[in-house]
Amino acid sequence: MPIDLSQFRRAARTFTRTIAVALLGAGICLSGGTRAADAANPKYAGFVIDANNGKVLYQDRADEYRYPASLTKMMTLYLTFEALKSGKISKNDKMPVSAYASARPPSKLGLRPGSTITVEEAIYSLVTRSANDAAVVLAEFLAGSETDFAKRMTAKAHRLGMSRTEFRNANGLPNPAQHSTARDMATLGIALREHFPEYYGYFSTRSFNFRGARIGNHNRVLNRYDGVDGIKTGYINASGFNLVTSVKTDGKNVVAAVFGGTSGRSRDDHMVDLLKRTMPKASRRDGGPLIAAKPNADVVVAAIEPDLPKKGPIPDFRPTQGGISINDRIAMAYGSDAGEQVAARMPMPTARPLMGRDAIRAALVDERPTASSAAAAILPLARPAAQDGRKAAALMRGDVDVQATGSVAQNVPAMVVQPTKPSPWVVQIAATESASQAMAMLKKAKSAAGSQLAAAEPFTESVDTGGGTLYRARFAGFDSKDQAWKACAALKSNSFNCYAVAN
């Protein structure tokens, strides 16, 4: 029977069109555009605004709640610039480093308790390395405590028109009550440019030298699109990879925000793609400031202000239960700008949207650990089940100090034992419900490990899990990673799980 080629071609064309429509409906661009992988992600949100006239050039879920991650540091810097401009502080002021600030997880400078850092050094470190410890040093210097500083951050955000933003810390480390939107963070980007032109140039810093060490900028889009002059990257697992970008070129002036990238590279590719598609639509006519010239005023142009009720859906980015241990869930909740390579080895959580403000409380893990169950959640335990132990070891190869919230109690109980001198590297063997229990485990571990831990100093460190306080059992006294890992190997050979981390 002869084949009807014309009928075959018609069927093939129909099939191709059907597939194309289905892919486009899913947000997949057949032309090779980079937006598909990230825009189809339930964590995604995007917003691009013409900063000359306030016209919205692109928006997708721009007013849905998202976790800002290290974009939070944009507000930390806003308040820092405000204090500089008013003369309350100077760039050369030396700020003391508290034990609390020093203990922040990476990304960090590795500041020692009792040392100092200048205001300008801290600014550069936030822009380039996104240093969590330096952000807290600024917060404590400006407000006395990070908690009080976060209240100022939120109040300032609301005065700038960022009505859907709440801050709880100065650096963007995971906190279930801290959230913002793509539109709000673009608003903050515009405010930084308009209110502090004398300081805004910091955001274009490619690298800076910190006491002999060169620190490069995490924002690679600075080198990928003409006219980009900042602003900031961000990452925690609950948010995905975030970025706010500013472009000024040929009289055009655009600010864009992207949340929820599936990787740092795909986020950057998507941002460049957005700029290529929206910049031709931007105006060269400058209509004046979009945000009130006086930072304390309550005036924002309607183009930036969302026409939405004050409450809305808050995404719940909790990992699914199936096959994922509590150890893995805690590990996946942690993140930082420098942790992209760690995140790449971890499974992405499944998003399940919930309605209402309370939903955000459960965003880091499936269930908030109680005081008793939390002891099994903070890695590592002394003798975990074999399966969880192998997973923990795999996750800890990145030398990341895994925490549930990145929040450490500032008031250290009397039972907590601190090391007598700074230790560049520490080894953790457990997290328990009492400081005395932690010390007992350390004593037993030191006795079992022999010479490798002969000079090690046991100490404890309190951690607030949100549902109670745990006490990390740690050894100090290691000058190098090699020393710490040798001690850890000796512990493992005696059935103690452990990991080493730069302090």
By annotation, the residues acting in catalysis are: 70, 73, 130
Contacts (Cβ under 8 Å, ≥6 apart) of 470: 374, 375, 378, 431, 432, 433, 462, 463
Task: Output the furthest CA–CA distance in the chain (Å, rounded).
Answer: 92
- Other CB atoms within 10 A of residue 284 CB: 10
153 touches 145 (CB < 8 A): no
Amino acid at 374: A
Alpha-carbon distance values, 100 to 336, 408, 416 (Å)? 18, 7, 14
104 touches 136 (CB < 8 A): yes
Q: What does the DSSP 8-state code read for residue 124?
A: H
Helix 119-127 / helix 73-86 crossing angle, nearest 10 deg: 150
CA-wise closest residue to 379 among 335, 322, 325: 325
In angstroms, rounded to a whole number, what is the distance separating the alpha carbons of residues 137 and 146? 9
Residue 294 main-chain phi, psi, to 5 deg = -90, 115
167 touches 72 (CB < 8 A): yes
Start-to-end CA span in the chain (Å):
78
- Other CB atoms within 10 A of residue 28 CB: 15
In angstroms, rounded to a whole number, what is the distance separating the alpha carbons of residues 79 and 192? 10
SS (H, E, C) 50-76: ECCCCCEEEEECCCCCECCHHHHHHHH
254 touches 56 (CB < 8 A): no
Q: Please give the structure tokens belonging to residue 413.
A: 């109980």
Alpha-carbon distance values, 470 to 187, 324, 437 (Å)? 39, 22, 11
